[in-house]
Amino acid sequence: MKKTKQWTLATDKKANDEIIEEAAAMINAGELVAFPTETVYGLGADALSDEAVERIFQAKGRPQDNPLIAHVATQEQLLSLVTSVPPFVEQLIYHFSPGPITYVLPSNGTCASRVTAGLSTVAIRIPDHPVALALIKASGRPIAAPSANTSGKPSPTEASHVIEDLSGKIAGILDGGQTGIGMESTVVDCTSNVPIILRPGGVTADEIRKVVGEVKIANAQSTEEKKPLSPGVKYRHYSPDVPLTLMRPSVTHMQQYIDDAQANGKIVGVLASDALSRQLIARKTFALGSDLSQIAKNIYRGLRSFSHEEVDEIICETFPKEGIGIAIMNRLERAAEKNSTNNK
């Protein structure tokens, strides 16, 4: 067990510059530093070093065949990691980067092979967060970073979530407060003529379609024989400590469920929009916000919120699969998947 250093970023630029320099020096020494991005907190390591990247897998308990995203600060740095970039990617970069979108492109072998898990492609994104960008620039190299949670758990949207999962296992955490979007980036396969969305996220299919005309959506659960396009989609993900059930947003239906559970001596934690949570009578309720972007921002915090309370199960309302709602429902459905065991 090592001591994890925690830096709180202030508004004072000079003080922050010193903190970033210190954190970048740790990255360059092969250590792990968690940092905020506009989506969720990332767990960063030197993307050029297999040894450093291996530490990410150990700290998270991440399956070895699940590749990582290389985070870069500029388009130029992105180009330095790939063999070629189709014209539609230039358009996507122009419109959405820096931002919550990740491009899967043919790797030129610059990133350590542990980053790509041996694939011929590499996933790259330019995060839209001053701390993330400053850290990448100060370290002078791409930073490999998955979400900074224990594998299988909800992604961290606050430094306290990272501490909960990884304290003592990583060198440092840059605390930049709550992240803005709360959902991970959209992962887009850019190795053919048409972009294919492998994981829905902060940039929606409609937004991508408006820029490039056509976009395909990969089937999340591909057939057993076929290797999933995005290796990460086959693993248990985003799960709270107790079972999660999704329910349509009906007051009567949900109230009945809560009352029945209570009659059986069980305590239900309820995750619902502000409006619905005001109408439900339950012992533990977490109000997620009043629109889809607030709900996206708060959903992982909500899923973690009951972990220190005596809650036997969690119920959450379903949301419309439109805009960022597609990403929210993708994560909730994965989190609610039964028949798999908890990852630690």
Residues lying near Mg ion in the complex (CB under 5 A) are found at: 147
Q: Measured from the CB atom, is 125 or 304 closer to ligand TXA?
A: 125
With contact defined as beta carbons under 8 Å apart, do 48 and 112 qualify? yes
Q: Measured from the CB atom, is 40 or 336 closer to ligand TXA?
A: 40
Q: Which of residues 261-320 bind ligand TXA (CB under 6 A)?
A: none
SS3 content of the chain, % helix, strand, coil (to 5): 35, 20, 45
Residue 196 sits in the site that holds ligand TXA (CB under 6 A): no
Question: Quick count: other Cβ atoms within 10 Å of Cβ 4?
Answer: 18
Reading the block at residue 307, the tokens are 């972990």
Residue 185 sits in the site that holds ligand TXA (CB under 6 A): yes
Residue 19 sits in the site that holds ligand TXA (CB under 6 A): no
Residue 276 interacting partner from Mg ion, ligand TXA, none (CB closer than 5 to 8 Å by kind) = none
# residues near ligand TXA by CB under 6 A: 30
Let me know the angle formed at the C-alpha of 202 by 86 and 69, rounded to the nearest 5 degrees. 60
Shortest separation between residue 248's beta carbon and ligand TXA, angstroms: 28
Residue 230 sits in the site that holds ligand TXA (CB under 6 A): yes
Residue 151 sits in the site that holds ligand TXA (CB under 6 A): no
Residue 102 sits in the site that holds ligand TXA (CB under 6 A): yes
Q: How far is 103 from 191, CA to CA, in rounded Å?
A: 9
Let me know the angle formed at the C-alpha of 314 by 313 and 318, rounded to the nearest 5 degrees. 145
Residue 199 interacting partner from ligand TXA, Mg ion, none (CB closer than 5 to 8 Å by kind) = ligand TXA
How far are the Cα atoms of 102, 242, 250, 276 from residue 253, in angstroms, in the given order?
39, 21, 5, 12
Name, in order, each residue with C-beta under 8 angstroms of 190's C-beta and a sequence gap of 6 or more.
85, 86, 88, 89, 92, 103, 104, 105
Strand residues in 224-331 grouped as ranges (E): 244-247, 268-272, 284-287, 313-317
Residue 121 interacting partner from ligand TXA, Mg ion, none (CB closer than 5 to 8 Å by kind) = ligand TXA
With contact defined as beta carbons under 8 Å apart, do 62 and 147 qualify? no
Residue 195 sits in the site that holds ligand TXA (CB under 6 A): no
How far are the Cα atoms of 7, 211, 215, 230, 331 from residue 206, in angstroms, in the given order?
38, 9, 9, 21, 19
Shortest separation between residue 17's beta carbon and ligand TXA, angstroms: 22
Residue 104 interacting partner from Mg ion, ligand TXA, none (CB closer than 5 to 8 Å by kind) = ligand TXA
Residue 126 sits in the site that holds ligand TXA (CB under 6 A): no
Reading the block at residue 316, the tokens are 């959450």
Reading the block at residue 6, the tokens are 């925690």
Instruction: Convert residues 40-79 into a mask of x (bound to ligand TXA by CB under 6 A) and - (unbound).
Output: x-x-----------------------xxxx----------
Shortest separation between residue 90's beta carbon and ligand TXA, angstroms: 19
Q: Which residues bind to ligand TXA, rule: CB under 6 A?
A: 37, 39-40, 42, 66-69, 100, 102, 104, 116, 119, 121-123, 125, 127, 145-147, 184-185, 187, 198-199, 230-233
